[in-house]
Every structure is written in C-alpha cells, then in structure tokens.
Amino acid sequence: MIDTVERELSRLVEITNERMANALAFPGPKKKKIFKQFYQSIETLDFLIDDLIARAKRAPNDPEHNMVHAFMQAPYEVDEVFLRDQVKTMVFAGHETTSSVLSWTLYLLAKNPEWLAIVENEIKNVLGTKAPSLESMDLMPELTKVFNESMRLYPPSWSLGRICENDTDLLGHPIEKGDVFIISPYLIHHDPKHWIDPEVFNPDRDRPAHPMAYIPFGSGPRACTGEMLARMEMMIIIPTLIQHFKIELPQGHTVQPAFQVSLRPEGGVPLILTRRKLT
C-alpha cells in the first residue's frame, strides 16, 4: 500500500504543480491525458483510504489511539467524505508537507552554523547515542525553536482557501456569503507589522501578541489535523540525521522558494553529509 500511495500522491503533486504553473494553457490531447491520470490517481487513493477507514471502524473502539474512532465521537457531523478528507490530510502531511519542512529546516541549520552547533549539542546531551523517541521530543526546546522558526519563514501551506459562510464585513469591506478568501500564511509570517526583521532567521524571536500572526498549520476547525504527526516526524528525523552525519551547505549556495502545492525549495537543497562515528 505504501508504494501505491507514494506513486499516486507524487503524480498528483506533479500534475497539480504543472497545472498551477500553466493555468492558462490551451486544452488539447495532452491535457486530457493528464486530467485522466489525475482522476485515476484520485480514484486509487480514495479506494485505499476507504479501505483504511473501514478497517479502523472494525477495530475495537479506542478513540485515544484510533483517529477514525476519535472523529466518530466529535460533537459535529462526521460523514464518509469528512473522514476521507481527514485521512488524506494525514497522508499528505506525512509525504509532501513534512518533506518540505524537513528540507527547509536542514537548509537553515546548515546556513546558520551557530544554531546547528546549538542543536547538535542539545541532541548529544539529551540522546547521546540513543535513538530519538516520542518521549525525547519535549526534551529538545532549542530544536523546537528552530523548527518553529523554519515554519515561520517557509510555511509549507503557503496559501489557504476559505469560503465565507455568512455576509459579513472585513475592515470596512463587505464580504458576501459564498465569497472565497485566499489567506497566505507566508505573507502573514513576513509582515513587518507583526514581526521584527521578518526575513531574518532568529529562533529566539518572541511570538507576536496577535494569535493569527503565526499560522503554519492554519487555524480554527479546518486547521491541519496532521500538525502533531509533522512535528513528531521532524523531531525524530532531524536528530537521527544529526546523530549520524555532519551537515554542511556547499559554499555560497542559496535556495529560493518555489510556490507550488507546498512551499518547496527550488531545485531542492544540496547538502554535504559526512558520516560521524557514534561514541
């Protein structure tokens, strides 16, 4: 199943990125073929996800460890489409989103050796040669700060869509029911009204007073359900890499953001990894 998810999700991301880059392209046979591939991948993923949901429902009731059971007990309407969307979010968080955040965080650490040294020292003191675990996540506040600042500078979901449910007013602008908002965490996170020197990587910076000034996972009822999964993956993957490798950036190399499905590093992040001797 993992191989199938990897293949089909990668195809969906690739097609969507191409569609975003060529939104005004004229229709033709190639476009029809791409659309057919897109919906075939959707159908394949939906089939697998529906199977996962069915298995989860048949398992003994355990809302603490079973996401489907937890949603079934939610104080709002939960139908099959909702469940499927939430599982899709978790799959996406474990694939596209986390890989983008991982790339940016390693890039920022390699670009800022003083912070890389701080994180290396913390990992050494907390873990030694032991493998990172869920229990060690809360014992590495410096790495957590680096992760949070990486998410501020390069939030993977750089734009979010929301539909207005009722007529309202926003800063003097009338908004009608059904209007679509495009909210950009990237622009909010770089707004000098909320952040001092917003372009500077500074994990020690204070969080603004406004609760919506930092929204790398969105906010409200439609916030990303994959936030804790992404954090868990990052707090295990990065310590594991740093335990085993010295990380460097090729001299003078910089990376620019590519605004695609997620905020990817354009061309990827080239890193020089030198294996360490674990002692």
Q: What pTM, to 2 d.p., does this model score?
A: 0.79
Residue 35 main-chain phi, psi, to 5 deg: -60, -40
Q: How large is the average pLDDT for residues 93-110?
A: 86
Q: Which domains does the chain have, with CATH numbers?
A: 1-78 (no CATH), 79-275 (1.10.630.10)
The 3-state DSSP class for residue 148 equals: helix
Alpha helix ranges (H) inside 64-196? 67-72, 80-92, 98-111, 113-127, 141-153, 185-189
- Span 141-166, pLDDT tens digits: 999 999 999 999 999 889 888 899 99
d(Cα 232, Cα 216) in Å, to the nearest integer?
15
Query: How many residues make up the chain in this entry?
Result: 279
Higher pLDDT among residues 3 and 149, named by residue: 149
